[in-house]
């Protein structure tokens, strides 16, 4: 894996490209290796460190470079992550499958009567004492198949009286081979698969309202990534800078590179800043939805509930919003780090042109709305 990464380090890859590479290549390598061996914790930690370094620094991991915790990156996009599957959860899922942790074994020839979790109540050893087992001539080695005669349970009548749950244990299907079953969060019992295992064991978070605003089939990957950071409020704006980010300089002297009036922040850049606000006003005039705010949180509140719809006006709104955020962020950084400056009209033209180019490649169902949109965008 390290060799592969060394090779990629020499090429410039966008964040979006890095997510794709990590998702497809590294994860599949790891799945291959860990389905052969279970990886020790130390190896998992090292591999994740390489992935984090590649992702955030395109090389070795440096302190303070990660904008979002790796655990938060490794959850599905719907829940606010980037959908990279955490090696640790995968490894635990594979371990579970190998050792039968959390799994149920149905037929009973190889299954321990006392210690395997073969019925809904868990291992019987938790209920029935050793003394009780031995009193009725069972041993530690008793298997589930020793508890029945193919037709009925053979356990003592007083067990049913003393442990009423015993009466509720269904008689096993004696015709099949032993199988591994998997019980997921909902208590559903299914055939084991490592996909379900992963889904059960991975960290869960609640679904984020903005999912369809950031990730949609016609979204532009590097715009989506910056918008994702904005949604998580993880762009490194001046209000988040600490003295050590600037070699102990005084962070209170920083001013927004777009308006030179005050420190920038998420709220300022999107779109309270005089420059950004003008850009946004020009861009939002192309959104065929009335009453769009100048505050990014209010824009999300308005568009997110309808963002899953694939109609033209909503796709246009999403493309304009993410492109505006992306190019304003880029302009802000170009001014700070490269001393390059574009005037407002030029930036608006670039945003318009980028969205227009994207719209040319999106297929919509023909309707009056779509025809109007095409005329407006000169497509
Ligand atoms: Zn400003």
Going by C-alpha positions, the residue among 267, 273, 278 that lies closest to residue 347 is: 278
Give yes or no for residue 182 having a pLDDT over 60. no
- CB neighbours of residue 10 within 10 Å: 8
Q: What local confidence, expressed as pLDDT, does residue 148 receive? A: 82
Contacts (Cβ under 8 Å, ≥6 apart) of 153: 147, 169, 171
CB 303 within 8 A of CB 231: no
Q: What local confidence, expressed as pLDDT, does residue 215 receive? A: 95
| Token pair belonging to 370 | 């779509």
Q: What local confidence, expressed as pLDDT, does residue 176 receive? A: 55
Going by C-alpha positions, the residue among 69, 67, 72, 71 that lies closest to residue 245 is: 67
Q: For 272-318, what is each residue's pLDDT tens digit?
A: 999 999 999 999 999 999 999 999 999 999 999 999 999 999 999 99
CA 250 to ligand 1 center in whole angstroms: 19
CA 273 to ligand 1 center in whole angstroms: 4
CA 246 to ligand 1 center in whole angstroms: 20
**Domain boundaries along the sequence of the chain:** 2-96, 107-178, 211-376
C-alpha dist (Å) from residue 122 to 112, 165, 200, 320: 12, 11, 18, 55
Residue ranges with CB less than 5 Å from ion ligand 1: 256, 258-259, 273
CA 276 to ligand 1 center in whole angstroms: 7
Q: What local confidence, expressed as pLDDT, does residue 335 receive? A: 95
Sheet architecture: strand order including 189-191: 103-105, 180-183, 189-191
CA 284 to ligand 1 center in whole angstroms: 19
Mean predicted confidence (pLDDT) in 16-45: 67
Q: What local confidence, expressed as pLDDT, does residue 231 receive? A: 96
CA 4 to ligand 1 center in whole angstroms: 42
Q: For 319-338, what is each residue's pLDDT tens digit?
A: 999 999 999 999 999 999 99
Give yes or no for residue 268 having a pLDDT over 70. yes
Q: For 357-368, what is each residue's pLDDT tens digit?
A: 999 999 998 899
What 3-state class would DSSP assign to 180?
Answer: strand
CA 171 to ligand 1 center in whole angstroms: 72
Going by C-alpha positions, the residue among 326, 331, 319 that lies closest to residue 275 is: 331
CB 38 within 8 A of CB 96: no
Range from 2-16, 67-81, 99-113, 128-142 carrying the lowest mean pLDDT: 99-113
Residue of 47 and 310 predicted with greater confidence: 310
CA 332 to ligand 1 center in whole angstroms: 9
Give yes or no for residue 197 having a pLDDT over 90. no
Give me the helix-helix angle, 221-231 and 312-333, nearest 10°: 80
Q: Percent of the chain having pLDDT more than 90?
A: 38
CA 302 to ligand 1 center in whole angstroms: 24
pLDDT category at 343 given cuts 50, 70, 90 is very high
- Residue identified by tokens 């009725």 is 136
CB 202 within 8 A of CB 86: yes
What 3-state class would DSSP assign to 45?
Answer: helix
CA 338 to ligand 1 center in whole angstroms: 17
Give yes or no for residue 181 having a pLDDT over 80. no
CA 268 to ligand 1 center in whole angstroms: 6
Residue of 46 and 290 predicted with greater confidence: 290
CA 238 to ligand 1 center in whole angstroms: 11
∠ CA 237-239-243, rounded to 5°? 100
CA 296 to ligand 1 center in whole angstroms: 15
DSSP-derived secondary structure letter, 141: T
Q: What is the pTM of this model?
A: 0.68
CB 299 within 8 A of CB 292: yes
Q: What local confidence, expressed as pLDDT, does residue 110 receive? A: 61
CA 272 to ligand 1 center in whole angstroms: 7
CA 259 to ligand 1 center in whole angstroms: 4
| Token pair belonging to 93 | 């899922």
Distance of CA 43 to the CA centre of its chain: 22
Q: What local confidence, expressed as pLDDT, does residue 106 receive? A: 41
Q: What local confidence, expressed as pLDDT, does residue 272 receive? A: 97
């Amino acid at each position: 894996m390290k060799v592969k990464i060394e090779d990629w380090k020499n090429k410039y890859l966008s964040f979006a490209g890095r997510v794709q590479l990590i998702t497809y290549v590294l994860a599949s390598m790891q799945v291959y290796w860990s389905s052969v061996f279970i990886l020790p914790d130390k190896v998992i930690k090292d591999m994740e460190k390489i992935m984090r370094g590649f992702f955030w620094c395109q090389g070795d991991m440096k302190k303070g470079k990660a904008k979002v915790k790796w655990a938060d990156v490794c959850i599905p996009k719907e829940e606010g992550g980037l959908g990279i599957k955490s090696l640790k959860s995968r490894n635990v899922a594979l371990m579970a499958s190998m050792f039968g942790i959390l799994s149920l074994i149905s037929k009973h020839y190889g299954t321990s009567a006392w210690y395997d979790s073969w019925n809904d109540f868990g291992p019987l050893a938790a209920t029935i004492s050793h003394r009780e087992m031995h009193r009725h001539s069972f041993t530690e080695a008793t298997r589930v198949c020793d508890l029945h005669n193919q037709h009925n349970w053979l356990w003592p009548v007083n067990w049913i009286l003393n442990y009423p749950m015993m009466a509720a244990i269904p008689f096993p299907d004696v015709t099949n081979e032993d199988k591994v079953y998997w019980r997921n969060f909902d208590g559903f019992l299914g055939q084991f698969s490592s996909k379900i295992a992963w889904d059960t064991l991975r960290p869960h978070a609640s679904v984020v309202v903005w999912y369809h605003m950031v990730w949609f089939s016609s979204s532009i990957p590097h715009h989506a990534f910056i918008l994702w950071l904005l949604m998580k409020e993880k762009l490194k704006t001046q209000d988040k800078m600490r003295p050590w980010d600037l070699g102990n300089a005084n962070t209170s002297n920083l001013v927004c590179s777009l308006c030179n009036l005050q420190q920038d922040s998420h709220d300022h850049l999107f779109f309270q800043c005089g420059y950004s606000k003008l850009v946004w006003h020009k861009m939002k005039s192309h959104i065929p939805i009335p009453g769009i705010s100048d505050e990014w949180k209010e824009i999300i509140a308005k568009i997110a509930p309808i963002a899953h719809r694939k109609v033209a006006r909503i796709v246009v709104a999403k493309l304009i919003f993410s492109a505006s955020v992306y190019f304003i962020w880029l302009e802000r950084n170009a001014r700070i780090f490269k001393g390059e400056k574009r005037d407002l009209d030029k930036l608006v033209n670039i945003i318009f042109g980028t969205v227009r180019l994207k719209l040319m490649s999106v297929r919509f169902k023909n309707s009056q709305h779509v025809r109007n949109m095409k005329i407006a965008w000169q497509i």
